[in-house]
Amino acid sequence: MADTTHSTTASRRAILGAAFAAPALISLGASPAIATSMSKSVPWDAAMKRYIALKLRQDTAWAHYKALPSLQQKGAADDEMDRITNEFVAAQDLLLEMPAPHNQALLWKLEHVLEIEGDGFTASWGGPFIKQVMDDMRRLLAAGA
């Protein structure tokens, strides 16, 4: 099972930051609607930053793994590849599970769940992921965001 301690901690930090950001933005003259909208993006932005860093790490590790000349060397690297992949998947799952704060986040989610794979079909995503994407679509489209 993936260790999601770091991503959970980052999300808590982002949520706490958002709680303090809205009043600060309002005091600087931002409208409450803009301040609230911006503070809702803080957890998403923190999670996306982590996802991007882990994607780069996984892509780099995968390229190194594929370049290993022997099965014995690949076998020795399997545990590390599994750990890196599990961290990356946990970061991706966190983004898919959290509400999309804006259309750009929704588009990212749609591109992931509807990505056409090598066999010409999309991946089979679990119900909770699809439900969250559908909830995001309904909420953002209804708001005209």
Domain range list for the chain: 99-145
Is residue 82 within 8 A of residue 62, CB to CB? The reply is no
pLDDT above 90: percentage of residues in the chain: 54
Query: What's the pLDDT tens digit per position in 21-74?
Result: 444 444 444 444 444 455 678 999 999 999 999 999 999 999 999 999 888 888
Coil/strand/helix, residue 60: helix
| Whether residue 101 has pLDDT greater than 60 | yes
